[in-house]
A and B are shown apart, each in its own frame.
Chain A
Amino acid sequence: MRHIISILLENEPGALSRVVGLFSQRNFNIETLNVAPTEDPSLSRLTVTTVGDDRVIEQITKHLNKLIDVVKLVDLTEGNHIERELMLVKVKALGAARDEVKRTVDIFRAQIVDVTPSLYTVQITGDAAKLDAFLQAMAPVGILEVARTGVSGIARGDKVLSL
């Protein structure tokens, strides 16, 4: 099963490489990885999506917790949560396709953030499935470039991941 693990990480040099290294060292898999500072400058928040059965996920969280630079973590998929990813896509927008792209962008509640006579740059947010669906819809028109942030997430309700 797919899991979203969010981590509060010491904002130390080398901390990120310990997390990433752990995954390759122990043969765990990383589907997406997203990392940025938090409101507390001493902490980064890192979100990783990974796939594995319960035994593997248990090992992943235990080994992550063992890293000295990992301050706290949560497996968001264990409860209700909000999952978002941002994607920027350059698609061909020529002739009849130009309107077609515009319509699809509206249907997906995406935005066109840059234009040239021959292409649109589209910004879209949502869960990974929505982004995948948008790419599928655009494929016949011609996708020129894709930039995805990887999944970020947060628990629903009162639950808070903090120190």
Chain B
Amino acid sequence: MELLSGADMIARFLKDEGVEYIYGYPGGAALHIYDALFRQDSVKHILVRHEQAATHAADGYARASGKPGVVLVTSGPGATNAVTGIATAYMDSIPMVVLCGQVASHLIGEDAFQETDIVGVTRPIVKHSFSIRHPSEIPEVLKKAFYLASTGRPGPVVVDIPKDMTAPTERYEYIYPKKVKLRSYNPVTRGHTGQIKKAVELMLKAKRPVFYTGGGVVTGKASEGLTDLVKRLGFPITTTLMGIGAYPQSDRQSLGWLGMHGSYESNMAMHHADLIIAIGARFDDRVTNNTSKFCPTAKIIHVDVDPSSISKTVRADVPIVGPADSVISEMISLVQGHPIAHPEALAEWWEKIDGWRADRHGKLYEPSKQGEMLKSQEVVEALCRVTRGEAYVTTDVGQHQMFAAQYYKFDKPNRLITSGGLGTMGFGFPAAMGIKQNFPDDDVVCVTGEGSFQMMMQELSTCKQYGVGVKILNLNNASLGMVRQWQDLNYKSRHAHSYMESLPDFHMLIEAYGFTAITVTTQDELEPALERAFADKHELVFLDVKVDPFEHVYPMQVPLGSMRDMLLSKTERT
């Protein structure tokens, strides 16, 4: 029998659970735990420079690897600094376990130094949370936390740990619990066969079908099955921003992604479809536009592991509660050997879709001419060329995020790592850091804006400490471009506080941390700079690319309209 203190149990549990990296920042209430980490060497702790970055780094790691990210922070300000990252993970259903120090049990409720009711603060943005009440329950509670975070619809779990629970003097028996059961938590493992049959019948009879798939396919590790199913049927597929790469975008059947800034052909196809096969997507407002005008002629099949996502905003005709991978493989076995009923209608449908494609071909944006400022779009296209479409691309939030998603072509899931649900500026750089540490031999690039980057740029110091060779592509339009775009469209170009005055000299800033920075202003400089940046996988390089601040992101759905109501450029609309 092994007797361990609470703090040692935590360190030991993390090892037994197979956790390699944790991201954190120390403080009084967490010091016993930090001491336990010091006395072991299986779990590597990465010291960030702000707790929000710890959550984003763990989140990026979780997205890229499919395993839960782990965060350790102290009580009070440490825990509240983590809140934005927890909310970010919650909105995108990312598995994460956040260990928060807390003041000693006997002080709780007394407004003790650095006391915050973090379980209360985070209640609406966690899948679940625990407070440790006795050191002996630590292994069991931690196991539950990891189990909950990573099964069903994944999400963040907070564990609040009062300081006395980790006291070095009190030791209890430690056994690693291989399994836990929660009587009130039984995530579904497969969909209802009758419903799946009904869905497949509709699919085989459809004349104008569209697959609309989301992050659930990515987190549910169902991309392969999805690709198989879509190829067998020959249907078009569009994904959400979170679902990008679940089906190879370079394939003809891929229409790109849909919604507010989605592709013209995706939104047109959705609007005119007679059957929408939604898998792991949640019909959120950035996709549907006005729900009362949403896809007026379509029947809707909706597969989701979370029953509360089904019929939340748009009523499903065939609801299927189940995990994407198992439902998709059941669909495949039902489709096998059954040809579609209306191949000629599908051919016509494709003609229509190819027509929409052709309509916008070469008109998506106007590339810069010699001597003009670079366009963000062409910079992302160059990035895609130089990295052969194989990099992990994280983004911050704004125009650069949409451009990255529109102009980088993703053929694999988990390669676009972006805060889709919460839209958190500051996410991209720490997320890239978390990915790079775990995939050191891959290219990891954060496409950011000068506004977003400044929200988390202190992490340059973390990258320096651990030698993290991420690339940072700053699409520097010297403005809060997305805000400015809305002000152009809705406020007669009154640019209230969307102009970034007194920007730092990024070149000097990066060099102050001992890294390489390259400033790019012309087309001739662009590709060589990118080649240079990606030459060494282990070197952090910052590209400060001065881009046209007048550019807007298009298409853009017209507010309150249907899927097909879009602005296509500053002068055209559907």
What B residues does A69 contact at CB under 8 A?
Answer: 184
| Given the contacts A14-B131, A17-B123, A59 and B312 also touching, CB distance less than 8 Å | yes
Interface residues of A in 61-99 (CB under 8 A from B): 62-63, 65-66, 68-72
Are the C-beta atoms of B308 and A68 separated by less than 8 Å? no
Residue A147 CB within 8 A of the other chain: no
What B residues does A117 contact at CB under 8 A?
Answer: none
Residue A140 CB within 8 A of the other chain: no
- Of A25, A58, A71, A163, which is within 8 A of B311 by CB? A58
Kindly report which residue of chain A lies nearest to residue B160, judged by CB atoms: A14
Q: How close is B215's CB to chain A, nearest CB, in angstroms?
A: 17
Are the C-beta atoms of B148 and A21 separated by less than 8 Å? no
Interface residues of A in 1-40 (CB under 8 A from B): 10, 13-14, 17-18, 21, 25
Interface size class of B (residues with CB under 8 A): 10 to 19
What B residues does A14 contact at CB under 8 A?
Answer: 119, 123, 129, 131
Are the C-beta atoms of A71 and B184 separated by less than 8 Å? yes
Residue B496 CB within 8 A of the other chain: no
Are the C-beta atoms of A21 and B123 separated by less than 8 Å? yes
Are the C-beta atoms of A70 and B184 separated by less than 8 Å? yes
What B residues does A17 contact at CB under 8 A?
Answer: 120, 123
Q: Tell me, in angstroms, the Cα distance from A10 to B148 when the chains sit together.
A: 16
| Given the contacts A14-B119, A17-B120, A25-B124, A55 and B311 also touching, CB distance less than 8 Å | yes
Residue B355 CB within 8 A of the other chain: no
Residue B307 CB within 8 A of the other chain: yes
Q: How close is A131's CB to chain B, nearest CB, in angstroms?
A: 33
Residue B183 CB within 8 A of the other chain: yes
Residue B535 CB within 8 A of the other chain: no
Interface size class of A (residues with CB under 8 A): 20 to 34
Residue B128 CB within 8 A of the other chain: yes
Q: Tell me, in angstroms, the Cα distance from A15 to B351 when the chains sit together.
A: 55
B 182-193 binary contact with A (CB < 8 Å = 1; else 0): 111100000000
Interface residues of B in 358-416 (CB under 8 A from A): none
Kindly report which residue of chain A lies nearest to residue B315, judged by CB atoms: A55
Are the C-beta atoms of A68 and B123 separated by less than 8 Å? no
Are the C-beta atoms of B184 and A10 separated by less than 8 Å? yes
What B residues does A18 contact at CB under 8 A?
Answer: 123
Are the C-beta atoms of A21 and B124 separated by less than 8 Å? yes
| Given the contacts A13-B131, A21-B124, A25-B124, A63 and B182 also touching, CB distance less than 8 Å | no
- Of B119, B120, B123, B308, which is within 8 A of A63 by CB? B308
Residue B201 CB within 8 A of the other chain: no
Residue B306 CB within 8 A of the other chain: yes
- Of B119, B128, B131, B307, which is within 8 A of A65 by CB? B307
User: Main SS of the interface on chain A?
Assistant: helix
B 307-348 binary contact with A (CB < 8 Å = 1; else 0): 110011001000000000000000000000000000000000
Are the C-beta atoms of B148 and A68 separated by less than 8 Å? yes
B 125-144 binary contact with A (CB < 8 Å = 1; else 0): 00111010000000000000
Are the C-beta atoms of A68 and B128 separated by less than 8 Å? yes
What A residues does B312 contact at CB under 8 A?
Answer: 59
Q: How close is B369's CB to chain A, nearest CB, in angstroms?
A: 51
What A residues does B306 contact at CB under 8 A?
Answer: 66
Q: How close is A64's CB to chain B, nearest CB, in angstroms?
A: 9
Are the C-beta atoms of A62 and B128 separated by less than 8 Å? no
Q: How close is B181's CB to chain A, nearest CB, in angstroms?
A: 12
What B residues does A21 contact at CB under 8 A?
Answer: 123-124
Q: Tell me, in angstroms, the Cα distance from A62 to B282 when the chains sit together.
A: 15
The residue among B120, B124, B127, B306 with the most chain A CB atoms within 10 A of its own CB is B124
Are the C-beta atoms of A68 and B182 separated by less than 8 Å? yes
Q: Tell me, in angstroms, the Cα distance from A14 to B126 when the chains sit together.
A: 13
| Given the contacts A14-B131, A17-B123, A21-B124, A71 and B308 also touching, CB distance less than 8 Å | no
Q: Tell me, in angstroms, the Cα distance from A68 to B307 when the chains sit together.
A: 14
Q: How close is B395's CB to chain A, nearest CB, in angstroms?
A: 28
The residue among A21, A58, A63, A68 with the most chain B CB atoms within 10 A of its own CB is A68
Kindly report which residue of chain B lies nearest to residue A72, judged by CB atoms: B184
Are the C-beta atoms of A62 and B307 separated by less than 8 Å? yes
What B residues does A163 contact at CB under 8 A?
Answer: 183
What B residues does A59 contact at CB under 8 A?
Answer: 308, 312
Q: Tell me, in angstroms, the Cα distance from A13 to B120 when the chains sit together.
A: 11
Kindly report which residue of chain A lies nearest to residue B133, judged by CB atoms: A13
What A residues does B124 contact at CB under 8 A?
Answer: 21, 25
Q: Tell me, in angstroms, the Cα distance from A93 to B553 when the chains sit together.
A: 73
What B residues does A62 contact at CB under 8 A?
Answer: 307-308
Kindly report which residue of chain A lies nearest to residue B182, judged by CB atoms: A68
The residue among A59, A63, A66, A72 with the most chain B CB atoms within 10 A of its own CB is A66
Are the C-beta atoms of B185 and A68 separated by less than 8 Å? yes
Q: Tell me, in angstroms, the Cα distance from A160 to B538 when the chains sit together.
A: 63
Kindly report which residue of chain B lies nearest to residue A163, judged by CB atoms: B183
Q: Tell me, in angstroms, the Cα distance from A59 to B185 when the chains sit together.
A: 18
List, sorted by A's number, 5 A–B pairs whose CB atoms are closer than 8 Å: A21-B124, A58-B311, A62-B307, A68-B127, A71-B184
| Extra 18 A-B pairs, beta carbons < 8 Å, given A18-B123, A66-B307 | A10-B184, A14-B129, A17-B120, A17-B123, A21-B123, A25-B124, A59-B308, A62-B308, A63-B308, A65-B307, A65-B308, A68-B128, A68-B148, A68-B182, A68-B185, A71-B183, A71-B184, A163-B183
* A residues adjacent to B (C-beta < 8 A): 10, 13-14, 17-18, 21, 25, 55, 58-59, 62-63, 65-66, 68-72, 163
User: A-B pairs with the 7 shortest C-beta distances?
Assistant: A62-B308, A71-B184, A68-B128, A25-B124, A62-B307, A63-B308, A21-B123
